[in-house]
A and B are shown apart, each in its own frame.
Chain A
Amino acid sequence: MTVNKARILVIDDEKAIRKFLIAALGQGYHVFEASTGAEGIAAAATHHPDLILLDLGLPDMDGIVVTQRLREWTKTPILILSVREDESGKIAALDAGADDYVTKPFGTGELLARIRVALRRAEQAGVSDALFDDGWLKVDLAARIVSINGVATQLTPNEYDLLRLFIAHRGKVLTHKFILQQVWGDNYSDGHHLLQVNVSNLRKKIEQDPAQPQRIRTEPGVGYRFTAEPASGN
C-alpha cells in the first residue's frame, strides 16, 4: 500500500509547524520538508511531490515568488498557508498559480479535506467530463444543456460560460481576476460588478436557496469556489 501513498512537500520556516504537519499528514502521506524557499524549490525538483504546502512568509523569498518559480516547470498543486488578514497575499499567490489556500491557524480536518480535493483535482486534470450531475443540477457539457431537478433551464451565454468554468475547476478557489479573464476576456479584468451580477443571477437559477448558496460559495475578498461534486454513480 505504501507504494500508492501521495507525496507532500511542506515548505515552512517554523520547525514547530513542520513537526505538527508531519504528524498530521504522516499517516496518509509521504511528507518531505524544507525550511526556505530555495530549499523548497530544490526539494520539489528532487522529490517530485504530488502536492506542495507553502507558507507565504518565508525568510529568504516571498511565497508568491516561490509559486512563480515552481510554476515555471511544474503543475504540482500548491496549497498556500496564510493568515486571515492577508487577502492581497492570497490573491497574488492564487494569480501566480497556487491552487488553494488554508487560513492559519487551521484544524487538521480542514487541512486534510483541502489536500484531498487538490490531489483529486490533479488526478483528474486533463480528463474532461461531458456530464456534471449532482442530483439537482445537471449540465450536459457536450450538448450545452442545463437542467435543474430534471427541468431544462435557460442560461445566458455568459452564465453558461461561468458555470462551465466553475465545474471545470470545482473545489478550487477562483479569483475574480481569473474568472473575468476566462469568461469575458482581458479587457474586463476590473469588471467586478459585472461578475457579481452574473454570479447572483446564476445562483438564482441553480441554487435551491439562492440566499444561502451551497454550490457557488463566496470566498470573501478573493473570489468564488464551486463546491458541488457529482453524485456517486456518475
Chain B
Amino acid sequence: MQWDVCNVETASELAKPVGTQQRLKAALQKAEYGNAKVVLLYADEDVHSIADAISTYARRINARTIMLSRGQKRSFWMAKDLPGVLLREHADLDLVIISRHGHPPIAPTQDSPTNSLADHLKALALVGIATATSAFFENYLAPANIMLALLLAVLLSALMLGRRPAILAAIVGVLVFDLYFVPPRFTLEVDDSEYLLTLIGFILTSIIISALATQRRFNHFEAREREKDANLLYSLGKELAQAQEVSEVGVVLERHLVLDFGTDVCLYQPGSSNMLLVYPSPGQTPNAQEQSWADWCFRNNEPGGSSSSVLASSDPLFYPLSASDMVVGVLSFKPNQPQASVSLGKLRILSAVCTQAALALQRIQLTEQAKQLKLAQATEKLQNALLNSISHELRTPLVSITGALSLLDAETNREEKSQFTELVHHAFAEAQRLNQLVGNLLEMARLESGALKLRKRTTDISDLIGTAISQIETRAEGRHFSVRMSPDMPAPNLDFVLITHVLVNLLDNSLKYSQPDSEIEIEAESSASSIQIRVMDRGIGITPGEEAQIFEKFTRGTNTSDTKGTGLGLAICHGIVEAHGGSISAFARPEGGAIFVVKLPV
C-alpha cells in the first residue's frame, strides 16, 4: 500500500512558533521513514482553498482515502471545519478522521512569536507619524483624508511587518482618530453618528487590508523560496553532470549545501566490507558511530541517524544515494551550527539533491566500469593476437618439417630397413612429438591467460565419446574400447571441441600406459545435477599419493619414466573441466590400472 503525507502550508502556518514547526517536521520525517511520500501543498488562508489543494492532490495520485487528524480548535480564519467542507464538496473521496489519542496536543510553547516586539513598535511609530502629519495639516484636511493617512499606516504595517502589527496599527489608528479628530475631542464619544459608520468602515478595511497584505507577503516569500530551490537544483544538476570523479561530486555538494542549508557534507561509498569515506577526506576512518550509521543506511536503503530528526539535533543524518534500485553511496548532513534549522521545504529539496548526487555517482561508476571493460577487452584481444602469432610462428616450420619427414618416411619404408630409414622414421616421430608439445603449450597458455572462450552447446554425450574414440582409433594398436552408458543421459551444455579434447587426452594417456591387447572402458552416467564420465584402463596405474599431483602442469607420475610425455595433457584436461565448473580426479584400480573421473555440471 502506498501512502502520501501532505502538509498544507498557509500563511498562518508560517507564523506558528518555531517549536511547533519543528514538531511538525519531526512528524513528517517519521512518516518518511515509514515509506510515505511527504509532499508540501500550498493553499490560501481559507478552508475551501485547503480542501481544494488536498482533493486536487488526492485525485492526481488516485488516492482512495483521505485521513485527517481530528480538528484542532477552529481558528478565526477557519469559519468552517475542513472535514465538513471536504465531505460536502468532494463527496467521492472517503474520509477517515483519526483521533489524536495517545499524542499529546501540541502545546503552545514559550518560543518567541514570529513578530517581534520591535515590529509592533514600528507599527505604532507608523501610526504616530500618520497622526502627527495629519495633526499638522489638520486645518487643510478633511477628516476623510486623515482617515486615509491612517489607513496608509495600517497598509504599510501589514506589508512590511506582518499581520499582528497591522492589526495593532488598525486598533490604535481607530482610537487616535476617534480621540483626536472626531468631535468631541479627547473622548470616545461620537457626536455625528455618521462618524460611527466611518470608524466601522476603517476597522473592516484595516482587517481586510492586513489579511491581503499578509497573504501577499506569504506568496512572495513562497515564490522566493521556490525560486531559490529551483536555482539550487538547476545549478547543482549542471555541476554534478560535469563531475568526472567522486571527489568532484563531494565538492559540488559541499559548495551548495554549506551555503544554502548550513550543513556539512560527508560522502561514503561501499568498500569491500563496509562504507568508506570518500569525501571530504578520503581514506580517513569515520568515528565508529558514523561508520555504523553509514553501513546501516547503505544496507537498508533508508535514511538514518542517531536522532529521528536531523533538525532537532546536531548529529548527522544519513541519506542513502540510490539510483535505479541500486544504492551507490551514502550522504551525511551535519548542521554546522548548533540549533541550525532547516525548513520543511528544504528537507524535501534534500531528497532531490540526494537523487541527483546518486545519478552523478552512478554515472561516474558506470563510466569507470566501461573503461575497465574496454581495457580488459583490449588486453584479451592483445593476448589472443599474441598467442595466435606465436602459434603461427611455431607451427609453420613444423608443418613443412613433419610434412617433409612424413613424405620421406612413406617413400623409404618400401625399401628394406637401413640406418637411414630408421633415422627418418625417428625424426618423423620426434617432429610429431614436438608438434604435440607446441600444441599443448599453446593450449595451456590459452587456458591460463583466460583467453579460452567456451562455446557451450547442448551436447550428446554418446556422440562426444564416439568422436573421441574415432580420433585415437588409429593409435589403438589392437586395444579394445568398450562403452557403457546409462540410457537416460541428459544433454548438458558443453564446449564439444574442448571436452572431446579432454577425453582424447585421457584415452591417449590410457593407450600410452597400457598393453596393446588390453581393454579400455568408458562409462557415462548421470545424477540430478551432474554427469560423470569414467575412463578406465589396465595400465600401470597411479602411484598412491600422486592422484592429485598428476593434474599439475609439467608433473608426471613417478612410474611413467619409460614413456615419453610432456606433463601437460592432464593439466589441460584439468583446466578445461574446471572452466566448465566441473572436476576431474584419478584413482588407482585395486585390480590394476587407473580410473579417471570427469564430473561436469548439467
Q: Tell me, rounded to whole Å, the shortest Cβ–Cβ distance linking B200 to chain A.
A: 93
Which B434-475 residues sit within 8 Å CB-CB of chain A?
435, 439, 442-443, 446, 455, 457-460, 462-463, 465-467, 469-470
- Contacting pair A104 B399 (CB below 8 A): yes
B96 partner residues in chain A, CB cutoff 8 A:
none
Which A100-158 residues sit within 8 Å CB-CB of chain B?
104-109
A108 partner residues in chain B, CB cutoff 8 A:
403, 406-407, 410
A109 partner residues in chain B, CB cutoff 8 A:
406, 410
- Contacting pair B466 A57 (CB below 8 A): no
- Contacting pair B399 A19 (CB below 8 A): no
User: Given that A196-B460, A211-B465, A211-B485 are known contacts, is A217 also in contact with B399, CB under 8 Å in the complex?
Assistant: no
A104 partner residues in chain B, CB cutoff 8 A:
395, 399
A197-B404 Cα distance, complex, nearest whole Å = 42
Across the interface, A193 reaches (CB within 8 A) one of B397, B462, B491, namely B491
User: Given that A108-B407, A210-B462 are known contacts, is A217 also in contact with B470, CB under 8 Å in the complex?
Assistant: yes
B481 partner residues in chain A, CB cutoff 8 A:
212
A211 partner residues in chain B, CB cutoff 8 A:
462, 465-466, 483, 485
A213 partner residues in chain B, CB cutoff 8 A:
466, 470
Q: Tell me, rounded to whole Å, the shortest Cβ–Cβ distance linking B219 to chain A.
A: 67
- Contacting pair B435 A105 (CB below 8 A): yes
Q: Tell me, rounded to whole Å, the shortest Cβ–Cβ distance linking A226 to chain B.
A: 14
A106-B435 Cα distance, complex, nearest whole Å = 10
A85 partner residues in chain B, CB cutoff 8 A:
391, 442-443, 446
Flag whether A11 is at the interface (Cβ < 8 A).
Answer: no
- Contacting pair A84 B439 (CB below 8 A): yes
A213-B463 Cα distance, complex, nearest whole Å = 9
Across the interface, A200 reaches (CB within 8 A) one of B399, B439, B442, B463, namely B463
- Contacting pair B439 A218 (CB below 8 A): no
- Contacting pair A105 B391 (CB below 8 A): no
Which A136-195 residues sit within 8 Å CB-CB of chain B?
192-193
A107-B399 Cα distance, complex, nearest whole Å = 9
Across the interface, A20 reaches (CB within 8 A) one of B407, B446, B459, B491, namely B407
A221 partner residues in chain B, CB cutoff 8 A:
455, 496-497
- Residue-wise, chain B 392-422 has the 8 Å CB interface mask toward A (1 for contact) of 1001111111111011001000000000000
A27-B442 Cα distance, complex, nearest whole Å = 35
B157 partner residues in chain A, CB cutoff 8 A:
none
B392 partner residues in chain A, CB cutoff 8 A:
57, 83
Closest A residue to B400 using CB positions: A16
B491 partner residues in chain A, CB cutoff 8 A:
193, 196
Flag whether B322 is at the interface (Cβ < 8 A).
Answer: no
Flag whether A233 is at the interface (Cβ < 8 A).
Answer: no
Number of interface residues, chain A, beta carbon within 8 A? 33
B403 partner residues in chain A, CB cutoff 8 A:
17, 20-21, 24, 105-108
- Contacting pair A14 B400 (CB below 8 A): yes
A16-B399 Cα distance, complex, nearest whole Å = 9
Which A12-36 residues sit within 8 Å CB-CB of chain B?
14, 16-17, 19-21, 23-24
Flag whether B500 is at the interface (Cβ < 8 A).
Answer: yes
Q: Tell me, rounded to whole Å, the shortest Cβ–Cβ distance linking A28 to chain B.
A: 12
Across the interface, B397 reaches (CB within 8 A) one of A16, A24, A192, namely A16
Across the interface, B467 reaches (CB within 8 A) one of A24, A87, A218, namely A218
Number of interface residues, chain B, beta carbon within 8 A? 39
- Residue-wise, chain B 470-504 has the 8 Å CB interface mask toward A (1 for contact) of 10000000000101010000010000110010000
Residue among A19, A23, A108 with most chain B CB within 10 A: A108
A217 partner residues in chain B, CB cutoff 8 A:
467, 470
B467 partner residues in chain A, CB cutoff 8 A:
217-218, 220
- Contacting pair B497 A220 (CB below 8 A): yes
B462 partner residues in chain A, CB cutoff 8 A:
200, 210-211
A220 partner residues in chain B, CB cutoff 8 A:
467, 496-497, 500
- Contacting pair A24 B407 (CB below 8 A): yes
- Contacting pair A192 B400 (CB below 8 A): no
Flag whether A98 is at the interface (Cβ < 8 A).
Answer: no
A189-B442 Cα distance, complex, nearest whole Å = 32
Flag whether A199 is at the interface (Cβ < 8 A).
Answer: yes
- Contacting pair B402 A107 (CB below 8 A): yes
Q: Tell me, rounded to whole Å, the shortest Cβ–Cβ distance linking A192 to chain B.
A: 5
Q: Tell me, rounded to whole Å, the shortest Cβ–Cβ distance linking A214 to chain B.
A: 9
Q: Tell me, rounded to whole Å, the shortest Cβ–Cβ distance linking A11 to chain B.
A: 15
- Contacting pair A105 B500 (CB below 8 A): no
A17 partner residues in chain B, CB cutoff 8 A:
396, 399-400, 403
A20 partner residues in chain B, CB cutoff 8 A:
399-400, 403-404, 407
Closest B residue to A221 using CB positions: B497
- Contacting pair A105 B395 (CB below 8 A): yes
B391 partner residues in chain A, CB cutoff 8 A:
83, 85
Residue among A106, A107, A200 with most chain B CB within 10 A: A107
Across the interface, B460 reaches (CB within 8 A) one of A83, A107, A200, namely A200
A196-B73 Cα distance, complex, nearest whole Å = 83
Closest A residue to B435 using CB positions: A105
Residue among A21, A87, A221 with most chain B CB within 10 A: A221
User: Given that A19-B400, A212-B470 are known contacts, is A196 also in contact with B406, CB under 8 Å in the complex?
Assistant: no
Q: Tell me, rounded to whole Å, the shortest Cβ–Cβ distance linking A120 to chain B.
A: 21
Closest A residue to B446 using CB positions: A85
Across the interface, A83 reaches (CB within 8 A) one of B395, B466, B483, namely B395
A163-B271 Cα distance, complex, nearest whole Å = 61
Residue among B399, B407, B491 with most chain A CB within 10 A: B399
Q: Can you report 30 A-B residue pairs in the complex whose CB atoms are below 8 A from each other?
A: A16-B396, A20-B403, A20-B404, A21-B403, A83-B391, A83-B395, A85-B391, A85-B442, A85-B443, A104-B399, A105-B398, A105-B399, A105-B403, A106-B402, A107-B406, A108-B403, A192-B457, A193-B458, A196-B459, A197-B460, A199-B463, A200-B462, A211-B466, A211-B483, A213-B470, A217-B470, A218-B467, A218-B470, A220-B496, A220-B500
Known: A20-B400, A83-B392, A221-B455. 4 other contacts (CB 8 A): A85-B443, A193-B458, A199-B460, A212-B469
Q: Give the top 3 A-B pairs by smallest Cβ distance, nearest first.
A: A16-B400, A221-B497, A107-B406
